[in-house]
Structure 1
Amino acid sequence: MGWYAGEVYGEDVSYSMIAYLLSIIIGGYRLFQTGLKNLLHLRFDMKTLMTVAIIGAAFIGEWGEGAAVVILFAISEVLESYSMDKARQSIRSLMDIAPKEALVRRGSQELMVAVDDIQIGDIMIVKPGQKLAMDGIVVKGNSTVNQAAITGESVPADKIVGDEVFAGTLNEEGLLEIEVTKHADDTTIAKIIHLVEEAQGERAPSQAFVDRFAKYYTPIIMLVALGVAVVPPLLFQASWSEWIYQGLAVLVVGCPCALVISTPVSIVTAIGNAARNGVLIKGGIHLEETGALKAIAFDKTGTLTKGKPAVTDFIAIGKMPGDEMLKIIAAMESNSQHPLAGAIVRDVEQRNLDYLSVEIEEFSSLTGKGIKGKFNNSLYYIGNPGLFNELNPNLIKDSLRVEILRLQEEGKTVMVVGTDHEIAALIAVADEVRESSKEVITKLHKLGIKKTIMLTGDNQATANAIGSHVGVTDIQAELLPQDKLDFIKKLRDKYDKVGMVGDGVNDAPALASSTVGIAMGGAGTDTALETADIALMADDLTKLPFTVKLSRSTLRIIKQNITFSIGIKLLALLLVIPGWLTLWIAIFADMGATLLVTLNSLRLMRVKDKE
């Protein structure tokens, strides 16, 4: 084995040496630029190690192996770049999803306008089969719109006048006229792309650990390599050429390529997969923290429930047929501003009952109690049981009181309908529980979440009814926003890692105080996108177990990658003891580990929403 380049004899060998030298210079130009600069500034990273190893290989005449190190390092860089691009392609596809121009009506003219020139208030015309270029509100027409790109929902959403629509979604059926509400840079899709790109560039805790590790590891490897190269020849009269070669092999095998890439490629892949499934994760730290959650608190209204009251029970008691009674009730309630009035009117409309033809006279509201109005010369009241106790203490019979109490214990608001001498009907209204809530809580418990807690400002009876139905482990009722915040702080003291799921508006303090704040319906609210660490873009709670599962898979793969990267290094370094370590083994240990770590990380693309 030659000591230096001058000992390479023969014309053919010289030609091959020149070929190797050219491949080292051409293939390693960018590597040397960074490596030599780092060496001058005493900054030690994998490029510094590689540069020293290649120069050393050339110095002892191992031109072929030096060239191989350069070529394989270049291949590993290309693989790394490819894997990062593959992980980011879900975001790139989002960028291309919204059209660059739209058909806009201005005055009596219809013209194609570039999205950057479209103004708030412009009317955008979207034909069936076209994608929406801007966010806006439907002002004319109705259709179904596929919102999968924004919310991850596979089922198209029905859109009518007054509904919000998003850029990048597909109009499937009818012609829509949409009033533009946001500039191109402020659309929901633009914000998602910006936030995900920021998130993918952010350093996660395990990545910070790797960076700190590499900072100390690199100079230690250089010292070990120096020791391997000089100690055996100096102390044991071993061959200088053989042990310098071994020292260079230590430098190559010591390169922490696989270790350095182990975390970022996993984080980028997972965040891209989440975005494709309608979950916006705003950084690697939040992705990792979600996997470590031990307790998750849920706001009740709008999270575990739909946040919109609905009629659950109607019991006709008097002689009048139920449908006739319902028409009178809806006619009276249509004059009321109370939130529960809307629920009753909606229910009667769904039954196709013509309540608008019913004439109510002398309508008035009884603050805090109910309403009253005259129909066919009879004065009807709709209100809480207390109102009828005031009208006539003997009106509500014991059997009826039992029925009212039963409905109230189920978490329903009960309204009594009747005159001052007869009870005509009972009507119960409640905030409907989401169909998915029970299944979501069950899945979270199976995933190992120890505590699921429902937080609500509602009374204890309503809270107990809903909490026991969905299966949460704890129920906290009659809470003010400040109480929710205090409760989250107590949970963090007890469980350390605590998630909070809310609508991102009323629950902002509690979301901010939790380890991971998760907002519902991020596609519709800017507040949710800004406040929360994670936003479920559709108003869909089933995305939560998927997010926890994806986070757990990411943590597991990062640990596998780090363990494998360090393990393969130690194994290869042990080959130094019997003097078996060659540059070829070193190269394949390093580049092979990088490739395996990359492929392992890309498995995160296969974590599915529904399994």
Structure 2
Amino acid sequence: MSNQAGSTLETPIKTYRIQGLTCAHCAATFEKNVKELSGVLDAKVNLGAAKITVEGQTTIEELERAGAFENIKIRDEKIKKIEKEPFWKQQENIKVYISVILLVISWFLGQQHGEDYIASTIGYAVSIIIGGYSLFITGLKNISKWKFDMNTLMTIAIIGAALIGEWGEGATVVILFAISEVLERFSLDKARHSIEVLMDISPKEALIRRGDEEMLVLVENIQVGDIMIVKPGQKVAMDGIVIKGVSTINQAAITGESVPVAKTIDDEVFAGTLNEEGLLEVKVTKTVEDTTLAKIIHLVEEAQAEKAPSQVFVDRFAKYYTPAIILLALIIAIIPPLLVGDWSKWIYEGLAVLVVGCPCALVVSTPVAVVTAIGNAARNGVLIKGGAFLEEAGALKVIAFDKTGTLTKGIPTVTDVIAYHVNDNEALKLAAAIEKSSHHPLAAAIVKKAEEVGTDFQSVRLKDFQSLTGKGLKAKVEDQWYFIGSPSLFSEMHQFMKNDIEEAITKLQKEGKTVMIFGTSADVLAIFAVADEVRATSSGIIKELHQMGIEETVMLTGDNQHSAEVIGNVVGVSVTKAELLPEDKLAYIKKLRQHEQKVAMVGDGVNDAPALAAASVGFAMGGAGTDTALETADIALMSDDLSKLPYTIQLGRRTLSIIKQNITFALALKLIALLLVIPGWLTLWIAIFADMGATLMVTLNSMRLLKNS
């Protein structure tokens, strides 16, 4: 690897797309070759996303030469992807078809003229060369460097089979190994397809109005502040804010929500979503590289490059497993014939051990499952930042929830209006006229309620508006002073209140609501109860989590104990912790982790960042359009509700289960095949079918994660 002193800060880092990357071993070889290029300081291949990030100076031509062993093609990340031929037509597969045809012809010739027939042997030899050319080149290079991997094993086995005269079985081994590589490439292509779909959902151009002129502009040339016109039935090309029009937008591609969302002036829209009804004018707020969709694609691709704990284990295991298989094959080929003779038979058995010991199935057991699951989650509005977090989600025992904005809507709402001496609307009209001058969230709730019922509070003329610090507000309307504030404000003015009013206040407070009193210095005219409404889905989600086997659910809030317990009982959490500062929430998460290793924290991604970071896995809600959520969370639920939480946990469990099944099946099948050596029953046919069968089963089992259930 080239090391160039100085200019570290100025070293360019560039990402390229790769076409033709077929397996984990090929990716490692390609990465190593690129690192050895002159001018390259470092390189990292992302197999799942088919990308390479290069630090240093190089060219596409040099990169393609580094990948010539696999006929790898490179393109700039920003260039539109090359349309690939159908899988069965791809060049890599044609050599397999030719080899199969030659194998079948040679087998028929051998059946008719005997296995020693020269034309049959030549046919097998040509089949081996065509089908295994690239395998032999890599394998022989590895042998010369004392590097042992699956290519080394297969090369030794095939050459050995030819040397002892087993041409037909050698050719069969080559073809079946090539078929297993085709299956691995097919499974990776299917897993990558989920990201390619995301890349294609956003339009490549948009109708933009600049001044009085409307024009179609490529998204790369659209600037922040441009006005984008989105007609009914069209997809939104860029993130922005609606400045004119009303419509419904299908946001499934971003949030996973199947129900369209109403959009009007000042609402945010995202690139890749579908405008269903009205004409919208949208002010562009982000460049094409910074849209929410672009960030999702980038983060998912980065996540696919992160190794899950099980994959790290498999890689470490394979590092020792392959040399051990070679040693075992040597022992089988040498020790028995020294004791009982028959070198040809035991060398054959040793070659069969090399084939059956090929770690193909083991190597693909984890990455294909993880890449497939992360792609599935992205399509369903869940952004998982790596295989490690996917596995953590599958092993969760305790889930802690922030209350405001997570279990509740986070917006105070007037739930009760009890009027005395005046009707409800008149009380709301006067109260809203006073509260409109306040910036307090509770004041906003009163104003919003007045707007909803249609009172004309804007027409009310106020005189001498005053704020009573910590207690409320007062203002004069038509020479009458009106007050609105806490019950304590009116207790001070009236010394005592009527029993029915005190009972109403007490009842509302026991329900966990904040009470506000409106009236004059002489009378109470109305009681307003304000509460942060519980999300309609919260209790159902908590119940579902308990049914799934989550042992404990905890609600963490800064609210007073009484209100917190009311909401905790409504949603059905196991434990409620109230009156907590952010540092208290962090301490509680740490305490939980001391007793329960797998603890999740669910929040809005803006507050409680320390608690999110301290948990085994942090879930941020409402990731769509919220950069903070995308940055702070391990897993971002793109829609602003909890409906995807059980889905994510279930996906994590299914992925963990499938990885365990894959590893167990791959090792068990090889062990059974290896045991056939003892009676001398292991043949090259059985060995290659055991290896290919394990690879096929592991791949197909991983592909089950493409489905949502």
* TM bucket, shorter chain: over 0.9
By how many angstroms is 1:13 displaced? 2.4
For 1:380, the aligned partner's letter is Y
> Paired residue for 1:515, among 588, 604, 616?
616
> Paired residue for 1:183, among 284, 287, 299?
287
* Distance in 1, Cα, partners of 2:116 & 2:279: 75
> Which residue of the partner structure matches residue 645 of structure 2?
544
For 1:337, the aligned partner's letter is H
* Distance in 1, Cα, partners of 2:385 & 2:371: 11
By how many angstroms is 1:542 displaced? 1.0
> Paired residue for 1:479, among 543, 564, 580?
580
> Which residue of the partner structure matches residue 449 of structure 2?
347
Within 5 Å, which residues of 2 pair with 1:366-405?
A: 366-394=468-496, 396-405=497-506
> Which residue of the partner structure matches residue 503 of structure 1?
604
> Which residue of the partner structure matches residue 53 of structure 1?
157
Aligned: 1:263 with 2:388: no
By how many angstroms is 1:10 displaced? 8.4
> Which residue of the partner structure matches residue 553 of structure 2?
452
For 1:186, the aligned partner's letter is D
Within 5 Å, which residues of 2 pair with 1:327-342?
A: 327-342=429-444
Secondary structure of the 1:273 match is helix
By how many angstroms is 1:122 displaced? 0.9
By how many angstroms is 1:418 displaced? 0.9
> Paired residue for 2:266, among 132, 142, 162?
162
By how many angstroms is 1:138 displaced? 0.8
> Paired residue for 2:698, among 593, 597, 603?
597
Within 5 Å, which residues of 2 pair with 1:302-317?
A: 302-316=405-419
Secondary structure of the 2:606 match is coil
> Which residue of the partner structure matches residue 556 of structure 1?
657
> Paired residue for 2:243, among 135, 139, 149?
139
Aligned: 1:119 with 2:223: yes
* Distance in 2, Cα, partners of 1:354 & 1:33: 84
* Distance in 2, Cα, partners of 1:31 & 1:532: 43
Aligned: 1:291 with 2:394: yes
> Paired residue for 1:68, among 167, 172, 190?
172
Secondary structure of the 1:356 match is helix
Q: Residue deviations 1:264-320, cap 9 Å, x none? A: 11111111111111000010000001111111111111111111111111111x221
* Distance in 1, Cα, partners of 2:516 & 2:190: 58
Give structure 1 regions of 4+ aligned residues with deviation exceeding 3 angstroms.
8-12
> Which residue of the partner structure matches residue 317 of structure 2?
213
Aligned: 1:249 with 2:347: no
Q: Residue deviations 1:532-587, cap 9 Å, x none? A: 11000011201000100110011011111111111001111111111111111111
> Which residue of the partner structure matches residue 568 of structure 1?
669
> Which residue of the partner structure matches residue 4 of structure 1?
none
Aligned pair count reads 598
* Distance in 2, Cα, partners of 1:39 & 1:177: 65
Q: Residue deviations 1:97-140, cap 9 Å, x none? A: 10111111111211111111111111111111111111111111
For 2:318, the aligned partner's letter is A
* Distance in 2, Cα, partners of 1:280 & 1:89: 16
By how many angstroms is 1:218 displaced? 0.8
Within 5 Å, which residues of 2 pair with 1:12-31?
A: 13-31=117-135
> Which residue of the partner structure matches residue 232 of structure 1?
336
For 2:672, the aligned partner's letter is L
* Distance in 1, Cα, partners of 2:596 & 2:487: 43
By how many angstroms is 1:240 displaced? 1.1
> Paired residue for 1:85, among 180, 184, 189?
189
Secondary structure of the 2:248 match is strand
* Distance in 2, Cα, partners of 1:443 & 1:42: 55
Question: Which stretch of structure 1 is more off in the superposition, 330-339 or 100-109?
Answer: 330-339
Secondary structure of the 1:365 match is strand
For 1:516, the aligned partner's letter is V
Give the unaligned 5+ runs of structure 1.
1-7
By how many angstroms is 1:479 displaced? 1.1
* Distance in 1, Cα, partners of 2:665 & 2:353: 18
By how many angstroms is 1:335 displaced? 2.1
> Which residue of the partner structure matches residue 34 of structure 1?
138
Aligned: 1:428 with 2:529: yes
The TM-score with structure 1 as length reference comes to: 0.96
> Which residue of the partner structure matches residue 3 of structure 1?
none
* Distance in 2, Cα, partners of 1:77 & 1:44: 18
* Distance in 1, Cα, partners of 2:417 & 2:301: 52
* Distance in 2, Cα, partners of 1:162 & 1:211: 51
By how many angstroms is 1:322 displaced? 1.8
> Paired residue for 1:581, among 669, 679, 682?
682
For 1:391, the aligned partner's letter is M
Higher RCO (C-alpha 8 Å, min separation 6)? 1
For 2:177, the aligned partner's letter is F
The TM-score with structure 2 as length reference comes to: 0.83
Question: Which stretch of structure 1 is more off in the superposition, 269-278 or 346-355?
Answer: 346-355
> Which residue of the partner structure matches residue 5 of structure 1?
none
> Which residue of the partner structure matches residue 358 of structure 1?
460
> Paired residue for 1:102, among 203, 206, 210?
206
